[in-house]
Structure 1
Amino acid sequence: MSQSVQALAPVRFDADAQAKLSALRRTKFIAGAALALCILVFAFAKSFQGSHPWLGFVAAFAEAATIGGLADWYAVVALFRRPLGLPIPHTAIIPENQHRIADNLGRFIEANFLAPEPVREKLAEVDFAALVADWLADAERAAGLSRFVARLVPQTLAAVEQSGLRDFVTSRMLEQIEKVPLAPLAAELLSALTDDRRHQKLFDEFTRVVGRFLNDEKALATMREKIREELPSLFNLFRADAYLLKKIVASAGSLLDEVRADPDHPMRAEFDRFALAFIERLRTSKQYARRAEKLKRDFLGRPEVRALAGDTWASMRLFIEQDANAPNSMIREHLANMFVEVGRHLADDAQIRADMNQGFVVALASFVESQKSGVSKFIADQVKRWDLAQLTRLIEINIGKDLQYIRFNGMVIGGLAGLVLYTAERLFLVN
């Protein structure tokens, strides 16, 4: 591997790695000292074994411990480098197999850590909805989110116009309105009006309008002129038109006052019958239905209606953009309050949180499943790009301390094995 490639992704050692490195060095020193001690003990025991036969057992233990320690030292060192720098086959295993280790590591993580079931189980342990609820319920965060959303409003409105979505929505809305039967709908609305006799208030208002009409000087002059035209000329000489008009106005005014004062007046009952009959005809008459549909189509087909929709959109856009940029924006305030309220409701509704968490698990698990091969390749590529010396040092730092204990175990097990063999020799072969 070239130096330029090796330098692309150097491994950095933080404080934790430095602590591990120090612990590894201490363990190496102790293991080396133990091996040296075994050698010294072996040499001492052999030197005085002739005068002290029992030192043979000590020598056997130290000899076998030395061999076991040397063998395990060789095995541990061979993982990371060539022992004593000698080109011995099957040594420096990790540096020599960097690419294979990288590929296998990537596949191992993909198969074991990114498998669907473990990923789903791990994701299911996280209450995503509660995190969202807590985040939204914070007024400061909600205000920040509302400011962010408000900044996107102009771009969103511009995108809606450029995409043709506004015209599409307008057309679809008019199409849906055209599908709604107008006569039955009007009948239902009028039925709701008559259920609590609110139509009688309309009747009262009608009588007041008529009363004001009867007191209007211009209207009275027009009525007097009409009466004069209908009366013979002889009656006009005696000003009969004024007399008749006065009587008509007085009688009508008195009748209207009676109607307004009496909630059970016969005219009110007549108005009830008229209203109910009209509502029933709207509900059942095909002729009324055809007329209503024609009226609706004519109304929706007028260009002024579509122009009105465009003007309404333009006015709404101008208002939203101005308010979103205002210091005391109502939109931002309402958005912030809405986010806080959503967070509180979400925190109180366990079922919605459960549904949201299930959705998060499905979505994130699907994303991991679709991307895990890329993760595997990414890990493998990163490991391949590491500097060989740094890669070896990184692995040795993290597992080397435990490997050094193999040397201790080798010395102990080897020593015990040597002691057993020496004892067996003394018992069975010397005799």
Structure 2
Amino acid sequence: MSSSDRLPTATPMRNHAAADAEKLAALKRTKAIATAMLALCVAIFAAAKSLEYHWPLLGFVAAFAEAAAIGGIADWYAVVALFKRPLGLPIPHTAIIPENQNRIADNLGRFIEVNFLAETPVRKKLNEVDFASLVADWLSDPQRAAGLSRFVAQLVPQTLSAIEQSGLRGFITSRMLEQVEKVPVAPLAAELLSAFTDDRRHQKLFDEFTKVVGKFLNDEDALAVMRDKIRDELPSLFNLFRADAYLLKKIVASAGSLLEEVRKDPEHPMRAEFDRFVVKFIDRLRNSRDYAKRAEKMKRDLLSRPEVRELAQDMWESMRSFLEHDARAEKSMIREHLAGMFVEVGRHLATDPQVRADMNQGFVVALSSFVESQKSGVSKFIADQVKGWDFGQLTRLIEINVGRDLQYIRFNGMIIGGLAGLLLYIAELFFTAN
């Protein structure tokens, strides 16, 4: 790997190290200044105290410097005691953070669980997020929708294998057959036929029947069979004069003429007779117990045949073969339709405020319930992570990042302490003078 390839990773690390070095140098300077200020306060106190006899006003300076030194030392002790033992001495209640690492970890975990992962603030925060718009924008992008469709298509073979291995296919087949067996066939067939006979659509079936009969009458083999039947029924004398051919010709001509009339006349009496037959048959299917029993027996006989289950097996294998082949194809219909469906869902979601509102509410309920069920685990996870920290490294990290601010506490302590000492000295002079 070339050095240029390492630059994207190495450069941020070097920048981070440089920033830490700069912060550490600033911290050392601030510590040195604070220590020098403390030493200066001690020196000023000693000098002012030694010369106070000759110049009484130096008593004010000595009081200020004395209290400032005490305040600086106290704040130095307080800052150091947070992270380690001052001067390495085993003083009680020092090195507070390292000594209480486990307790701090547990309390921090509980604090986050109670104050940040409570149901009310979690729901309030989740309600501020428009999840549906995010989903709509994501799905509306054709490239993203195509990527999602490819991902879904890749799962097709695994999904089908999982269905087979789990026995779900057999369960579904059995349940489907059970449900079909519960459906009364006769009334269902009656309703289907009633829908089919609306606007006399069944007459198209009658027209097809007349066409079939017409073709039969023009078939030479069929006519030969009919002629043989007529010859067998006629006396021998009639056969001598070829009456069978004459009768067959008359029968075919009459039947053909009749069929032609029926096809041309929408109101032909034969059509009306066919209407009455269909209506009567539908009524029997709907109301006749005998027809219902026959239909149920036919249904049970059909469902009990092994060919039905074999048909279901063949349908499953065919569907699986098609899905697996299409999922691997370069131009997959499944991926194409899925991508189009995802884009359409995204666009519809973007324009339907009610669906978006319902979807957002669903996200809020689902995510808040998830957080509620997992927040104790989050609390324990945080506590375990804090317990596993290297507090020596953590102390160094805190000192580098906030050490300067902590050192300013020493400056403030010297100033506040000096002012407090000066006020107390003035008060002492006032009371002794009186």
Aligned counterparts, 1:21-420, within 5 A: 21=24, 24-25=27-28, 27-43=30-46, 45-46=48-49, 53-397=56-400, 399-420=402-423
1:77 maps to a residue whose letter is V
**Percent identity (aligned):** 79
Counterpart-to-counterpart distance in 1, 2:130 and 2:21? 36
CA distance in 2, matches of 1:283, 1:367: 53
CA shift digits 1:328-362 (9 cap, x unpaired): 22222222222222333333333333333333333
- Show CA shifts across 1:226-260 (max 9, x none): 22333333333333332222222222212221221
The 3 A distance-change label for structure 1 pair 42 and 321 is same
Measure, in 2, the Cα distance between the counterparts of 1:89 and 1:176: 79
CA pair 33-263 structure 1, distance change in 2 beyond 3 A: farther
Normalising by structure 2, report the TM-score.
0.87
Displacement after TM superposition at 1:166 (Å): 1.3
TM-score (norm 1): 0.87
Q: What whole-Å deviation, never above 9, does each CA across 1:128-147 have from its counterpart, x for those lacking one? A: 33333333332222222222
Could you say what secondary structure the match of 2:200 adopts? coil
SS across alignment from 1:89 = coil
Output one character per residue of 1:297-351: Cα deviation in whole Å (capped at 9) or x when no partner. Answer: 1111111111111111112212222221222222222222222223333333333
Deviations 1:265-323 (A, max 9, x none): 22222221221111111111111111111111111111111111111111221222222
Cα distance in 1 between the residues matched to 2:99 and 2:420: 34
Change (3 A) 1:387 1:370: same
Bigger mean CA offset, 263-272 vs 102-111: 102-111
Q: Give the corresponding residue for 1:429.
A: 432
Uncovered stretches (5+) of structure 2, i.e. residues with no partner: 1-14
Amino acid at match of 1:61: F
2:419 partner amino acid: L
Instruction: Give 1:109 deviation, angstroms.
Output: 2.5
C-alpha displacement of 1:192: 1.0
Contact map agreement 1:80 1:396 (CA 8 A) in 2 = no
Describe the superposition over 1:11-37 as per-residue Cα deviations: whole angstroms up to 9, x where unpaired: xx9567666656644544454444345
Unaligned runs of 5+ in 1: 1-12
What code does the residue aligned with 1:233 have? S
Secondary structure of the equivalent of 1:196?
helix
Structure 2: which amino acid aligns with 1:127? D
Aligned residue-pair number: 419
Instruction: Answer whether contact 1:116 1:369 (CA < 8 A) is retained.
Output: yes
Shift of residue 66, structure 1, vs aligned partner: 2.2
8 Å CA contact 1:181, 1:293 repeated in 2: yes
Q: CA RMSD in A?
A: 2.7
> What is the DSSP-based 3-state SS (H/G/I as helix, E as strand, rest coil) of the residue aligned with 2:92?
coil
Of stretches 122-131 and 37-46 in structure 1, the one that deviates more from structure 2 is 37-46
Bigger shift: residues 122-131 or 194-203: 122-131
